[in-house]
Amino acid sequence: MEHLVQLYTADFKTQMLIPYFERGIQAGFPSPAADYMELAIDLNDTLIKNPSSTFIGRISGVSMIEIGIFDGSLAIIDKSQRVESGNIVVAWVDDGFTLKQFKKEKGKTYLIAFNNDFKPILIDESNYGIIWGKVTYIINETK
């Protein structure tokens, strides 16, 4: 099992406005997007709904690569949001954090990887697993 190796609290003391393309950027045919760059956006306001319960974690490992969560990705985790089956979560299992899909099935709770090299983890009293928070966003670096 792999674990989040670094957890951070978000800093809300400063505001950093970044130019924002209100009408979006086309992924197909080019558009004159610079003509619409009229606004600025603060990523704290956009990505973090509950500052006092939000953390950022750097992902270590490859168990979620099939859904675009890679070694080095950043996860924004909100401990206040309700977790439902199918959500991506951070859980504490066997004395460490792990990021997986939360799955409820036939009265049992599982953590599911998105890499065939990893088996589902049954959450029960043997591993003291608890769901720590819901992942609300993933941030990846492009190459």
* Strands (DSSP E) found in the chain: 6-9, 17-20, 39-42, 54-58, 74-78, 88-93, 96-105, 108-112, 121-123, 130-139
CA distance 44 to 47: 6
Average pLDDT over residues 126-132: 87
Percent of the chain with pLDDT over 70: 77
pLDDT digits (tens, 9 = 90+) for 38-84: 677 778 888 888 888 999 999 999 999 999 999 999 999 999 999 99
Catalytic annotation, residues: 63, 100
Share the mean pLDDT of the chain.
Answer: 84
User: Is the domain defined by 51-139 classed in CATH 3.30.930.10?
Assistant: no
pTM value is: 0.79
pLDDT category at 16 given cuts 50, 70, 90 is: low
What is the model's pLDDT at position 118?
95
Domain boundaries of the chain, sorted by first residue? 51-139
